[in-house]
Structure 1
Amino acid sequence: MGESVVNVGAPPNSRASMGLENSNWHSELDYDRWVSLPVAGPRPSARYKHGAVVIDEKLYIVGGSRNGRNLSDVQELDLRNLSWSTIKIKTQSQADNIINGGLSEVFPATSGHSTIKWGNRVLLLGGHSKDTSENVTVRFIDLESQVSGVMETTGQIPVARGGQSVTLVGSKVIMFGGEDKHRRLLNDVNVLDLETMIWSVAETMKTPPAPRCDHTAAVHVDRYFLVFGGFSHSTFFNDLHVLDLETLEWSQPQIQGNLVIPRAGHAGVSIDEKWFIVGGGDSKSGALETLVLDMSTLVLSVLTSVERNDPLASEGLTVSSALIDGEQFLVAFGGYNGNYNSEVFVMKPKPKDSKQPKIFKSSAAAAAAASVTAAYALAKSESLDFTAIEHSKTKVDLSVEIGVIKEEKKALESSIAWVKAEKSTLRAKLDEINETHTDLSKELHSVQGQLAAEKSRCANLETQISELQTRLSSMQSIEQKVESLRSQKSAFDHNNSVQKQSSGSWRWMAP
C-alpha cells in the first residue's frame, strides 16, 4: 500500500473508549479519531447489512441480517443521552392519511436495503427479504406516527435487488448496481423522482463500471456521481468511476494519493467536499483504513487505521453524518468481521480549510469539471468546453467566470506539479527498491550455490557410507570364516596331541 499522502491529525490504529461519565461527549472528542460510545441500557441485536440514517440527533437502525436470518426491527439511538429504544411500527391500515399509496403490512425482515432521509420519514429501497417481489419496493417509516407502508411507484421500475447504492440529489434518488434475487450483478442507473414517484432509466454513455454490489456512492456539487469499490462474484474492486449527471457520460479518473486495497461491504458518507469511506473487506480480511476522498481534487488519503478484528474493519456496517451543536460527526454501527457487532463509534472530522482553493466552486467550473477530471487522470491540461459552459450557466458574467476558471487552472497546474514531484519521489523509491532487489537476488544466487555444493557433498558422503556398509558386511563374513578356521585348527591340534600321547604309552608297555 502506498504511503505518499497521509492526512495528519490522528496516529495509526487510533481508536479510544470513552468513560461513562462523559455525558457531554460530543464536545470532548479529538479530531479524526474513532471513539466507542458508552451507550446506556440494552443494545439492539448485533447485525450487518442493515439500514441507518440520522434525523434530528437520533440514529435509526432498520433491519439487517444476523446468523443467516433477516431482521425487521427499528431501533433508535438518542445521540444526546446515548440510550437505545425500540420503535413499535404500526401498519398503514392502523392509521389514515399518512401518505398516498401503500400496503397494510408489517415491515418485513430485510437486509441489503438502502435508507435515505426524506422529510421526517425514512425511505427504504430494495433489499432481500423472504417475499421479495420482481421489482424494487420503496417502503417508508413515518417517524411522527410510527407507521410503515409501501409507496406506490410508476414508470420504468427497476428489477428487485440488494447491495445497491442509493444517493439523494435534490428530490431525485439515484440507484446504481446491486445483485438481483437470481444473483445476477447489475450496473444500471435508475432514477426515482420523489415528487412524482416515477422511475426512469438513465441511458448513459461511454464505459460504465463493471457490474457489482456492496459498493458505495456519493454525489459532488449535485452533478458528479461517484462510485467506489464493491465486488463481483470473483473480483473485489478499488476503482473510482464518475458519472456526469448532465451529459450522462461515465469516466474513470485515476485516484491521486494513497493506493488502497480492494474492498466491498464498506460504508461511505460525504460532508461538504470530503467523502469518508469506512470498513469493508475482501472476504479474507477487513479493511483497516478509514479513507477520505477530496472530491474536488480526487486526492485519496488514509485518515486513520484500526487494529485487525476491530468492529470498524467489518463488512456490512453503516456510517452516517450527524450535526450536533453545529459540529459534524461520523456515526458508525454494526458490521461483520467473523463476529456480528453492535457497538456505536463516532468521529469528529477536522473542519475544512476555508482558504483551500476549490475546483468546483462555480457553475461554469462545474460545467467544465469533466475536463478537470480528465486533467487529473492524465496529468496534463486540456482546453475547456465553453459551449458546454454557456449551455449550463444562466445569466452569469462571463468575465467573472473566466477569472474563476483561470484561478482553477492555477490550482490544477499546482496540483499537476505536485503529482510530478510525487511521481519523482516514487520513482526514486522504486529505484531504491530495485537496487535492494538486485542485492537480494545476488545473495539468493550465492546461497543457492552454497546449497548446491552442500547437496553434492551430502551425496558423496552417502555414497561413502554405502561403500563402508558393504565393506563392513564383507568383513563380518570373513570374521566368521576365520573363526571357523580357528575352530578347525583347534580341533586338529587337539587330535594330534592325543595321537602323540597314545604312541608314547604303547612303546612303554611293549615287552
Structure 2
Amino acid sequence: MEVNNWHKELTYDEWVPITISGARPGPRYKHAAAVVDEKLYIAGGSRNGRHLSDVQVFDLRSLTWSSLKLKANVGKEDGDSSQEFLPATSGHSMIRWGEKLLLLGGSSRDSSAELTVRYIDIETCEFGVINTSGNVPVARVGQSATLVGSRVILFGGEDMSRKLLNDVHVLDLESMNWEMIETTQTPPAPRYDHAASIQGERYLLIFGGCSHSVFFNDLHLLDMQTMEWSQPQTQGNLVSPRAGHAGVTIDESWYIVGGGDNRSGCPETLVLDMSKLVWSVLTVVKPKDPLSSEGLSVCSATVDGEKYLLSFGGYNGRYSNEVFVMRPKEKDIVRPKIFQSPAAAAAAASVTSAYALSKSEKLDFMQLDYMNSNSHVNGHSKDDVTDKIEAIKEEKRILELSIAEVRAENSKLGGEIEELNNTHAELSKELQSVQGQLVAERSRCFNLEAKIAELQKLLESMQSVEDEVQALREKNSALDQEIELAATAQRQSSGGVWRWFGGNEK
C-alpha cells in the first residue's frame, strides 16, 4: 500500500488493514477515539484489567503513530506542572470541540461521585479538568455522548456502584452547564456499552447495549424537540443483540461495527439507512477478526475530500492495536422518512388539488378574455368563440370532477389514518404495558440470578464444611482405634504386674 495514495487504492465497502511504519501503541479496548485534521487520536482504554493513561496519534498521511506529550495546565486547580499523564481511564467518551478534545466520564482511580469532564488542547498539548455547573450527572462508564451543534447529549451507562442508567443529560458547551432532561413515553431499558447517533439534528437514536444479564438489539428514538421516546419499526436484515460495538454516521448512513455478547463477537458491519429505517449488512469478517471485537472504536475521516471509516483496538480473545480502514460507497440522500407522515401527505394532496383548481379557473378566464378581445382579429365568428368557451367549460367540469374525487379520496384516507392512529395508540399502550412487564421480569430474573449465585456460594461453603466434618470424623475414628489398641496393650501388660505382686507374697 503506497503511503501517499493508500486511500485511492481501496475498494468500496471492504475493511482493509493499514500497514504501519514504526512502533504501534499498546493493544487495548474501551478507549476513546476522535479524528482531527487527518489525525486519529486515541486516549486511554484498558488491557488485562489495567487502565491506560496515554494519548496516541495516528497520522493518516505518513501512516505512523506518535505519542502526544501532555502537560498539566499550570496554575489551575485541576493539575500541576509535574503531572505529565492523564489519569488512567477506561469506558469514557471523547468529543471534538474546536481545537480541544473533551473526555467525559469513564472509570479511573480518582473517579468522583459526579461525572468529570477533562480536556486536551491539541495545539498546546495542555490538559486539565473543566468545571461544569447545573445538574451534573453521576459518574459513570459505558455511556454514550453525542454532539449536536454546541450541545452534548449524554445517555445511559453504569454508575460506580454498578447501577444501570437510562437517564438523559445535556451539556451546553458554551456555558458548560448541565441540564437533566425529563422525557415522556417509554424509554429504553437501562443499559451501557450501547451506540448512539443523531439524525437531522433532532432525533437521538440508541441501538443495542446490555444490562447485567441481557444483550439488546433494539432501536429507540428520542425526539429532541418534544422529548418523547419511541421505538420505531425497522425493515431489512435482522440484527443480533450486541454490546461494546461502535457506530459512526456519514450523511444518512449509520455504520455499526463489532460488539458481542460475551460468548462471541459480531462479525458483520451493519448500516442503518436513517432516512428509511432499513438495516443492511455491508460486509462480514472472520469470527476472530479484530473487527469482530468488543470495545473497539470507529471514526470517520476526510482525506482529499472523500470520507473513510477508521477502526482501532478491541478485544475478542486477545487485545488488538491494528488500524483498519473502509472506503464507503456514497449513498443517495433522500428526504428523511421520520419527517413524513400519512396525515402530512393527505394535507399536501389537498393543497395541491386546491392549487390546481385555482390555477385552472384563472387560466380559464384568461383564455376567455383573450379570445373575446381577439375574435375580430382572428376572423372567428361569435359562434366559434362560444363553442370554444363551451369546450373549455366542459374541460373545467371534468377537472372539477377529478378534483372532487381526489378530495373524496383524501377524506377517506383521512378517516383511515384516524382509525390507524387510534389503533396505533392502543397498540402503543399495549406495547408499553408489555415492555413494562418485560422490564419487571428482567429485573426479577436478575434478582433470581443473584440469589442463585448466593445459594451456589452457600452450597459450595456447605460442601466445604461437610468435607471438614468428614475429615474430623475419620480422624476421630482413627483416634478411637489408637485408644482401643492402647487399652488392649495396657490390659495385656497389667497381668504381669499382678503376677509380680503374687510372687512377693510367697
What is the TM-score with the length of structure 2 in the denominator?
0.67
1:352 to partner: Cα distance: 1.7
Contact 2:32–2:94 under 8 Å retained in 1: yes
1:251 to partner: Cα distance: 0.2
- In structure 1, which of residues 353, 358, 369 is the aligned counterpart of residue 335 of structure 2? 358
- In structure 2, which of residues 276, 292, 297 is the aligned counterpart of residue 313 of structure 1? 292
Give yes or no for the alignment of 1:67 onto 2:48. yes
Partner of residue 224, structure 1: 203
Partner of residue 267, structure 1: 246
Partner of residue 465, structure 1: none
- Report matched runs for 1:307-456 at 5 Å: 307-353=286-332, 357-359=334-336, 366=339, 372=341, 381=342
Partner of residue 124, structure 1: 103
Give yes or no for the alignment of 1:77 onto 2:54. no
Q: Distance between the aligned counterparts of 1:348 and 1:119, measured in 2?
A: 26
Partner of residue 51, structure 1: 32
Contact 2:30–2:296 under 8 Å retained in 1: yes
Partner of residue 134, structure 1: 113
3-state DSSP of counterpart to 1:148:
strand
1:259 to partner: Cα distance: 0.3
Higher helix share: 2
Q: Distance between the aligned counterparts of 1:76 and 1:199, measured in 2?
A: 30
- In structure 2, which of residues 90, 98, 122 is the aligned counterpart of residue 111 of structure 1? 90
Give yes or no for the alignment of 1:248 onto 2:227. yes
RCO (CA 8 Å, sep 6+): is it higher in 1 or 2? 1
Supply the AA of the counterpart residue of 2:217: N
Partner of residue 502, structure 1: none
* Runs of 4+ in structure 1 over 6 Å off: none
Supply the AA of the counterpart residue of 1:324: V
Supply the AA of the counterpart residue of 2:33: A
Question: What's the RMSD between the two structures over aligned residues?
Answer: 2.3
Q: Distance between the aligned counterparts of 1:27 and 1:350, measured in 2?
A: 13
1:317 to partner: Cα distance: 0.1
Q: Distance between the aligned counterparts of 2:344 and 2:9, measured in 1?
A: 48
Q: Distance between the aligned counterparts of 2:332 and 2:276, measured in 1?
A: 14
- Report matched runs for 1:296-307 at 5 Å: 296-307=275-286
3-state DSSP of counterpart to 1:93:
coil
1:23 to partner: Cα distance: 3.7
Q: Distance between the aligned counterparts of 1:103 and 1:91, measured in 2?
A: 5
Output one character per residue of 1:273-322: Cα deviation in whole Å (capped at 9) or x when no partner. Answer: 00000000000000010000011110010000001100000000000000
3-state DSSP of counterpart to 1:247:
coil
1:131 to partner: Cα distance: 1.4
Q: Distance between the aligned counterparts of 1:117 and 1:29, measured in 2?
A: 27
- In structure 2, which of residues 12, 21, 26 is the aligned counterpart of residue 31 of structure 1? 12
1:222 to partner: Cα distance: 0.2
Q: Distance between the aligned counterparts of 1:203 and 1:306, measured in 2?
A: 41
Q: Distance between the aligned counterparts of 1:384 and 1:219, measured in 2?
A: 25
Q: What is the number of equivalent residue pairs in this alignment? A: 352
Partner of residue 258, structure 1: 237
1:84 to partner: Cα distance: 0.2
Supply the AA of the counterpart residue of 2:188: P
Supply the AA of the counterpart residue of 1:359: P
What is the TM-score with the length of structure 1 in the denominator?
0.66
Percent identity, aligned pairs only? 60
Q: Distance between the aligned counterparts of 2:147 and 2:287, measured in 1?
A: 33
Partner of residue 217, structure 2: 238
- In structure 2, which of residues 141, 151, 154 is the aligned counterpart of residue 172 of structure 1? 151
Partner of residue 260, structure 2: 281
Task: Evaluate the alpha carbon distance shift between residue 22 and residue 47 of structure 1 in structure 2; reply closer, same or farther with a 3 A threshold.
Answer: same
Task: Evaluate the alpha carbon distance shift between residue 345 and residue 399 of structure 1 in structure 2; reply closer, same or farther with a 3 A threshold.
Answer: farther
3-state DSSP of counterpart to 2:152:
strand
1:122 to partner: Cα distance: 0.5
1:359 to partner: Cα distance: 2.5
Q: Distance between the aligned counterparts of 2:185 and 2:12, measured in 1?
A: 40
Supply the AA of the counterpart residue of 2:45: G
Supply the AA of the counterpart residue of 1:297: K
Q: Distance between the aligned counterparts of 1:91 and 1:384, measured in 2?
A: 57
1:254 to partner: Cα distance: 1.8
Q: Distance between the aligned counterparts of 2:234 and 2:212, measured in 1?
A: 24
Q: Distance between the aligned counterparts of 2:169 and 2:276, measured in 1?
A: 27
1:255 to partner: Cα distance: 1.6
Q: Distance between the aligned counterparts of 1:130 and 1:338, measured in 2?
A: 26
1:93 to partner: Cα distance: 1.3
Structure 1 residue ranges without an equivalent (≥5): 1-18, 373-380, 390-397, 404-408, 410-511
1:358 to partner: Cα distance: 1.9
1:55 to partner: Cα distance: 0.2
Supply the AA of the counterpart residue of 1:240: L
Structure 2 residue ranges without an equivalent (≥5): 356-409, 411-506
- In structure 2, which of residues 133, 136, 154 is the aligned counterpart of residue 154 of structure 1? 133
Supply the AA of the counterpart residue of 2:169: N
1:353 to partner: Cα distance: 2.2
Give yes or no for the alignment of 1:92 onto 2:73. yes
Q: Distance between the aligned counterparts of 2:35 and 2:311, measured in 1?
A: 11
Q: Distance between the aligned counterparts of 2:132 and 2:255, measured in 1?
A: 32
Supply the AA of the counterpart residue of 1:228: F
Q: Distance between the aligned counterparts of 1:107 and 1:153, measured in 2?
A: 19
Task: Evaluate the alpha carbon distance shift between residue 258 and residue 334 of structure 1 in structure 2; reply closer, same or farther with a 3 A threshold.
Answer: same
Output one character per residue of 1:120-139: Cα deviation in whole Å (capped at 9) or x when no partner. Answer: 11100000011110000000
